[in-house]
Structure formats: C-alpha cells, structure tokens
Structure 1
C-alpha cells in the first residue's frame, strides 16, 4: 500500500521482546488535519504516537514527515512537539520559564523568545499567570501551559497523548472546546490519542480505530458511526454501544433475507446476497434507531428493566428474547418505569448486518 501526505507511515511495525505490538500500519495524514487515534487499552495507540515522535524506534517500515524520512532522525530534529497525559512541568520554574525553556536551549534570540511567549500566552489566555509557578494553577491552567510549551516551538506536527484524561468532567469539556478552537485558529497538523469517544467524535477530522496493533478502520466520525466496516468498530464507536443480536439465516432470495434472531424471532430485511441459508452472524442496531410503536404495529414486545433519565434523552433497557439486554434511546423524558410493557420495532433500513467473521455485509460495497 502506497500512501502520501504531510505525515506518512508505510508498513510500520514495532516489536518488543519478540512480540509485535504495532502491526504493518500504513497511514497518510494531510497538512492541517486533526487525526484522533482510538482503541482499547493495549491496542498500540500510544506506542504509535511515540514512534512518530521518535521516542521509540521502528522495527520495520518507513516514517516520513513533510517529505523527509524520519526513521533514524533524533526526536529534537523531527519538528514535532508532544503533550503528555501528565503535564510534565518544571515545578521550580514559572509559567514563562517553563514555556521558554526549550527555546533557550535552542539558543533563539531573546527578543524572538519574548515575542513567541507573548503571542502564545495571549492565545491561551495565560498572560495573568506568566510569573506563577505550576503549583498555584488549576489543572486546566497547567494543561494550557503544557500546550503553550509545545506551541512556542512552532512545530510541524503536534502530538497529544490523552492530554485531558486527568481532568474532571467539567474541565475536560471546557478544554475540549479550547483545543478545537485553537486548532481552527492555527490550522496545525495534529495527532491525538484518547479513550474518550466524545473527544474523538467532536475533535477529529478523521478517526483511526486501532485493534491489536493494527488499523481496523479510518474515516470521519460520521462515517465510522454510520458505516462501520466491522462489528468491532460498530461496538466501539458510539455511546451507548450498538445493540447486537445473533442470527441464523433462514433463507435469502432476490426479494428479502429472513433471519432467526437469537434462535427465536423471525426478522425480514432487504436482500443480502453475501449471506447464505444457514449462515450465522450478528444484527446490530443503535439505541436511537429502535422505534417504539403501538402494540398492534410493533415487531417485538418486552418489559422495561431500567430507565435512565439524562435530561435531553432517556435510555430504556429492556430484556429481549429472554437472553439479551437492549438499550433504547428516546428524546426528552418518558413516563415509562421499570416493569412497564414496551412495544418496539427495528427499522430494517437502520440495521447493520455482520457476518460470522464480524465484517459488515452490504449488498452494495459502495454504500
């Protein structure tokens, strides 16, 4: 696979003690893009970021930044700046001293250092704190200082490794807005590692979903949400997670495909020529796509197990076919309570069909 862009990775691998941690990754990132890496713990997302930064060496493959191969280039010469999960500020230095430290090592003229500090402090609203030490700042302010220390270097590439995970929920939301605003203002090329789906969906131009050291899917947030290529991506992207129900194909023809759900209920979908009679797989449907209906018009009937009132939305959890718990999302509030009967349907057009290997079955591969 040949890739080209501002940042390119071609067949990149990383081995630790004979175990392959990063597996044959090829990826292209355009200049000015905000790309987010997501995946479960241990999938290799932070290791991949460290490979790009030069903090780890490649076992094989090629890494290029702005057209130059960086495989053996020292981290300080790659033109990248990294912001870590921990702020990693020097506690004995003021905010100004923390931000100018690397510039002084680089022996930039004092006037240029002062101008850069002034510009970045204004952008990040740190001007009142330049003479303060980190211990006197809030968590959000310290994270802004860590970001400012990266900004003053004017790098070609910004790398963020879960920079907001140590903040409380309210501050994390505030900092997410600040990061998005800052990216739009600077147009900087940014790679961002997170386990937070809200951060990924709201910040990213594109999301890279990693699994077991390899790329599962790359796409815009809505592409991954609406058209996942695998059951893994469908279950990983979105909160609450997509509902999954096992099926067996009863029969399929040119007019329709008939499924037996959880060995009990019959379900009719548009024709799926990729499925064969007797084949097993999984039907997926998102919580907001399940439609409540009058009993006489519904496909299924069940009992509400739990109601979660979230304000603008409500989540209903129901037992489906005795063995599966479904999440159903409604707008606003609902008078339904635990123990109430609920009738609902799965709109076939909103369902996702995954084969026995977890791959999406689409009659039209271009959908």
Structure 2
C-alpha cells in the first residue's frame, strides 16, 4: 500500500511540474527573393517572392515589380505572367553579360549580374559494359557502377556539373489493318475481329485494352479460349513510341568519379561538380543496380541512358555547391551552418547562367 501511495505522489509531483512556455519569434523584415537560373536554350524566366518568416507556411509571390534585363546591346522588360513569374520571349545569348534590375515599391533597387558560359563540347568515349563495386566514402555504401570516360573538348570553361539520367520512353498501342490480318491468320474469330476493327485509329496506354472488348464474348467462348485469343491479340497490336521527350520521364542516377578534379558534394550522389584546370578527360562512374542486374540476367529494360554536362558561371557554381551542402546537412544537429551563396544586391537568391550538353550514349 505504501508503495502505491509513493508512486501516486511521484506521478502527481511530476505532472505538476509541467509548464507551457511561450516562444516569441523575432520580427524579421521581408526581403525580395530572386530565383533565375538561365541558359541559351530557354527564354527568360525570373521568379520573385518575399522571404518567409518562421511561422510562414505559404509562398508570397510578388506581382507588382518592374523587372528589366540589360546587356551591352539590348534591354528586355520582363512581363508578369502570374504567381511571381516574370518572363520574356527572348533568349539569353552565350558569352553575354546580363544585369538584372528589380524595382519594387518600398524596397531599394535590386540588382545582379551573370552570363551564360560556353556550351560544353564533350564526347563519351567507347566503353565496355564491365560492372564493378564502388564504395562511396561519404555514406559507406557499395554501388554497382559502370565506368564511363568523357573527353572534355576545348570550351575553355572552368566550372562543370555532371549528371546521369535514365529515360523511360512512353509508348502507345493501337490496332491496325495489318494487325487485324495477322490475327485472322492466327484464327481469331471474325466477330472479335469486327469489334477490334472499329478501334482503328484509337490509341491506348497499354496493350491490355483489348480485354475490355473481348470479355463481351464470355458467353460464347470458354475462359480458356478467350485467354488464348487475348494473348494473341496483345502480341499483335502495334506498339509505337511517343515522339519527343517528356521531362518527367527522366530520372536521376548516382554518379561518382575517380578524377581528382571532380567530386560529389557531401553525401549527394546524383551529381558531381568540378573546377577544370585544363583537364582533357573526365572519368565517371554510372551507378544503377537495376541496370547491372538486368544486364547480368539478359533482361532488356528498353531504357535510354543520357549524360548531362553543364558548364556553370561562377555564380551558378557557388550557389549550387552551397545549396547542396546546406540541404545535405539539414538533418545533422552537429553540422556547421552553411549559408547559401547569393549574388543579389539588396535582396537574396540567385541570378546565374549555365549551358548544357545532353549526350545519349547507351540503350538497354
């Protein structure tokens, strides 16, 4: 009984010690945030927002600014197109220095300067598909990697970023007169062929669309017969690749390097960067466990493999490096605070140019 009483007293005392403590957030004046990474392949686009406080959960877009982009030969007035985006139909030019000016009531004039560097002129050298293991020292994990050597060309640029991407092509399926005739030769009944013939000119996301049309004959043919018919039809429908490339169907892959001038940033594995001091070659490792397994087991995936090479302005390079460092250390309470580089005067953010080359070097 005494023990129970003692426990109750302890619980009561501990509970009475709980106290709500208020926390006051200091008021921080809003700043203008500029987000503009530009290249010669895309028209001008600048995003303007207000900086967030500790309790802000939504973006606050700026819709009443005057945004001007100037070079030695032209002046571009960007128009607001919604949600803080200011754009122009004109394109940046390689090698031209641009100065951004943002005028907004209640704020000092915001400026920044950068340019688009020269376009990469790299080449993926012939290689053999010999896989090996690579232990990434920043996370101590083993990766299946494929060595890929790159000739750097003669752009004369100093700052580079490399990324490997896998493209999963999109296909569509249709019934053609040729497919109907082939099905007829393989003894598909005429009543089923008549239904399929009405589908000519229609496209479907996968070949199994035929099932919804063949099942209407469930009372006429046995399940085994229908299953056989469906398997034949699925093999005979025409498979066409959708033209062009859809950005959302690209996925980043791990990339590493054995060159002294190319490094990963912290534990980030989806890009490597480097400062090229007249280096002629870049030794890269493509990491893809799925591709390694598929090749070892003879299972073709039907995927495309691309190397993205970007030349970076000094502003782009410093911004990207510090941004990845900060993101990589967010979950580490003992890490030193990393301040993301900004070249915006009287504001924060980035206005920086880059250029890129995309090399389709492998299919499997």
TM range (shorter): under 0.3
Larger Rg, first or second structure (1 or 2): 2
Q: How high is the TM-score relative to the length of structure 1?
A: 0.19
Pick 1 or 2: higher relative contact order, CA cutoff 8 A, min separation 6: 2
Q: Select the structure that is richer in helix.
A: 1
